[in-house]
C-alpha cells in the first residue's frame, strides 16, 4: 500500500495511484509495500456511497470472494479441497463496499513474508518458507517483527539524482526476547491511522498491545500454507534474453 517503503510517496498524485511517502518499497512489509489505493465504480454501487471513502480492511484475496457473491456463486474450490488444499482466504466485502454495513468483515490482516526464518532473524527452514511477519488491525495498530528491508522514506519524486541508499534490513526484534541494539523494546508497533508513514515506534509504551498482537501472529503462523516454491533458475534469465526479446517467457524444457 505504500513505501518505508516506509513512505506514503506520491500520495497527492492520483495518476501514480500511490499513497504519500510511507516507509519505501513494494517488496517490503512497511506501509509503502502493503497499503494501496483501490476504487469501486459501476451501476451496482448505491448512490449513497458514490464519492465516499471506505477505510475498512480489505485485501486482494477478497476480490474473488466478493465477485462470487455478486454473481451468486459459491467460491468454494471443491477440487482444491479434495486435494487437501486450504480454503480461500478471501471474504465477501460487498456489504461494506455498498454501505450496507459500516464496519467490514475483517478486524485484522496478517502480513506474510517469503523470506523464511531469515526474516525472523533465524537460519532454520527453507529460504522461501512463508512466515507471518506483521499484523494490522482495524483499530490502526500494526505490529512488525523480525527483519524488514527497504527501510527508507522517499521524497515526493523517487528515484531522483540524489537517491543513494543501501538496503540494510531493519531489525524490529521478536517480542519476548531482548530488543535489538538501539531499541527500547522488541517488536515495531505503529498506529498507522495517526502515523501512516511509520515514523513513531510506540512498542515500548504499549507492551500489552505488542504481546496481544504477537500472540495473534503466532496463531496465524500455525495455519500458514507454505508449499515449496522452488529455487532460482538462471535459465529463466537466459531464455528471456536469448529467446523472448528481453521479456519473461517459458524456460522449462
DSSP H or E run through 48:
none
**What is the b/e burial string over 121-148, where b = at least 16 CB atoms within 10 angstroms of the residue's CB?**
beeeeeeebbbbbbbbbeeebbbbbbbb
Q: How many domains does the chain have?
A: 1
Closest residue by Cα to residue 144 from 194, 86, 183: 183
Residue 36: inside a domain: yes
Residue 100: inside a domain: yes
Residue 161: inside a domain: yes
Residue 69: inside a domain: no
Q: Cβ distance 88 to 77 under 8 Å?
A: yes
Whole-number Å distance between alpha carbons of 243 and 253: 13
Residue tagged 471513502 (cell numbers)? 53
DSSP H or E run through 32:
helix 31-34
Residue 2: inside a domain: no
Residue 217: inside a domain: yes
- pLDDT number for residue 140: 96
pLDDT digits (tens, 9 = 90+) for 232-248: 788 999 999 999 999 99
Residue 1: inside a domain: no
Whether the per-residue pLDDT at 13 is higher than 60: the answer is no
Domain ranges, residue 199: 14-58+93-242
- According to DSSP, the β-strands at 170-171 and 131-137 are unpaired
Residue tagged 504519500 (cell numbers)? 20
Supply φ then ψ for residue 163, to 5 degrees. -70, 125
Cα atoms in the 13 Å half-sphere on the side-chain side of 227: 5
Say whether 200 sits in a helix, a strand or coil: coil
pLDDT digits (tens, 9 = 90+) for 167-198: 778 899 999 999 999 899 999 999 999 999 99
List of E strands, 104-208: 108-113, 131-137, 141-144, 147-148, 170-171, 188-191
* Cis peptide bond prior to 159, omega within 30° of 0: yes
Of 165 and 84, the one with more pLDDT: 84
Mean pLDDT of the chain: 84
Residue 71: inside a domain: no
* Ramachandran area for residue 94 (φ above 0: left; ψ -120 to 50: alpha; else beta): alpha
Supply φ then ψ for residue 11, to 5 degrees. -65, -20
pLDDT digits (tens, 9 = 90+) for 71-98: 999 999 999 999 999 999 999 999 999 9
**In Å, what is the CA distance from 6 to each residue of 26, 51, 151, 160, 195?**
9, 28, 6, 17, 11
Residue tagged 522452488 (cell numbers)? 230
- pLDDT number for residue 122: 57
Amino acid at each position: 500500500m505504500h513505501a518505508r517503503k516506509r513512505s506514503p510517496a506520491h500520495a497527492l498524485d492520483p495518476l501514480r495511484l500511490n499513497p504519500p511517502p510511507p516507509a519505501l518499497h513494494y517488496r517490503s512489509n512497511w506501509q509503502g509495500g502493503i497499503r494501496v489505493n483501490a476504487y469501486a465504480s459501476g451501476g451496482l454501487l448505491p448512490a449513497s456511497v458514490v464519492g465516499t471513502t471506505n477505510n475498512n480492511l480489505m485485501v486482494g484475496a477478497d476480490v474473488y470472494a466478493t465477485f462470487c457473491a455478486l454473481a451468486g456463486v459459491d467460491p468454494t474450490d471443491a477440487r482444491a479441497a479434495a486435494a487437501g488444499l486450504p480454503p480461500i482466504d478471501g471474504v465477501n466485502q460487498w456489504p461494506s463496499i455498498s454501505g450496507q454495513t459500516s464496519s467490514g468483515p475483517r478486524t485484522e490482516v496478517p502480513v506474510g513474508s517469503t523470506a523464511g526464518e531469515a526474516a525472523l532473524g533465524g537460519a532454520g527452514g527453507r529460504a522461501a518458507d512463508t512466515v507471518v511477519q506483521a499484523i494490522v488491525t482495524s483499530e490502526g495498530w500494526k505490529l512488525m517483527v523480525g527483519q524488514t528491508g527497504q527501510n527508507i522514506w522517499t521524497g515526493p519524486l523517487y528515484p531522483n539524482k540524489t537517491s543513494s541508499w543501501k538496503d540494510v534490513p531493519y531489525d524490529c526484534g521478536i517480542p519476548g526476547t531482548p530488543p535489538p541494539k538501539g531499541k527500547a523494546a522488541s517488536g515495531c508497533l505503529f498506529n498507522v491511522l495517526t502515523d501512516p508513514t511509520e515514523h513513531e515506534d510506540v512498542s515500548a509504551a504499549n507492551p500489552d498491545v505488542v504481546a496481544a498482537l504477537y500472540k495473534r501472529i503466532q496463531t496465524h503462523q500455525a495455519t500458514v500454507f507454505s508449499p515449496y516454491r522452488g529455487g532460482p533458475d538462471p535459465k529463466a534469465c537466459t531464455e528471456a534474453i536469448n529467446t523472448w526479446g528481453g521479456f519473461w517467457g517459458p524456460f522449462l524444457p
